[in-house]
Structure 1
Amino acid sequence: MTIVAVVSALLLAAAAVITTYRVVAGPSTLDRVVGIDSLMATAASGLAVWAAYSADTTVVPAIVALALVGFLGSAAVSRFRVRDDT
């Protein structure tokens, strides 16, 4: 189980680095919003890996809260988004 957790954590860290680059260098606002939503999903996945590794279920409300905030934030930004001048 330890090897699976370490490999999962490394892959999630790589995904977070790549997504952070997309957020910083994104050519449009929508790219940045999708990147931030992806970072929220990566953080929730990291907490889920930690919960499975440590057998600690106290982080499950945090996983649900991250998923909810990520979804609502993306929906709100996409609803009130203004066109980019590119």
Structure 2
Amino acid sequence: MHIVYLLTFGLLSIAFVLIFIRLILGPTLPDRVVALELLATVAVAMTGTYAIFTDRSSFIDVAIVAALTAFLGAIGFARFLERGGPRDD
């Protein structure tokens, strides 16, 4: 069972690095925001996996708060784009 946790953390770490590269190289702002959302999702997955690995339920609360914060960030960005995006006022 320990190997499953190590494999999960390894794959999530690889995904984290690849997503971070997309965040840096993303040609447009929406690409970078999607990468940032995906980074938050991977962070939530890592936190949930760690909670299962250590058998501590308090980390599940941390994962829920991080997921809700990421969701609110996505809503805020969508509203920002709906209103016309950045302006040069």
TM-score by length of 1: 0.92
Helix, strand or coil: the match of 1:56?
A: coil
1:4 corresponds in structure 2 to 4
**2:23 equivalent in structure 1:** 23
Which of these two proteins has the greater Rg computed from alpha carbons?
2
1:52-77 deviation line (CA, Å, top 9, x unaligned): 11111111111001100111101111
- Unaligned regions of 5+ residues in structure 1, if any? none
Match of 1:34 in 2: 34
TM-score (norm 2): 0.89
1:1-80 correspondence runs (5 A): 1-80=1-80
How many residues were matched structurally?
83
* CA distance in structure 2 between the aligned counterparts of 1:30 and 1:78, rounded to whole angstroms: 10
Secondary structure class of the residue paired with 1:80: helix
CA RMSD across the alignment = 1.0
Indicate conservation of the 8 Å contact 1:48/1:60, yes or no. Answer: yes
> CA deviation digits over 1:23-70, x for unaligned, max 9?
100011000110000000000000111011111111111100110011
Q: Percent identity?
A: 29
Structure 2: gaps (5+ residues): none
Higher relative CO (Cα under 8 Å, sequence separation at least 6) belongs to 1
What is the letter of the counterpart of residue 37 of structure 2? D
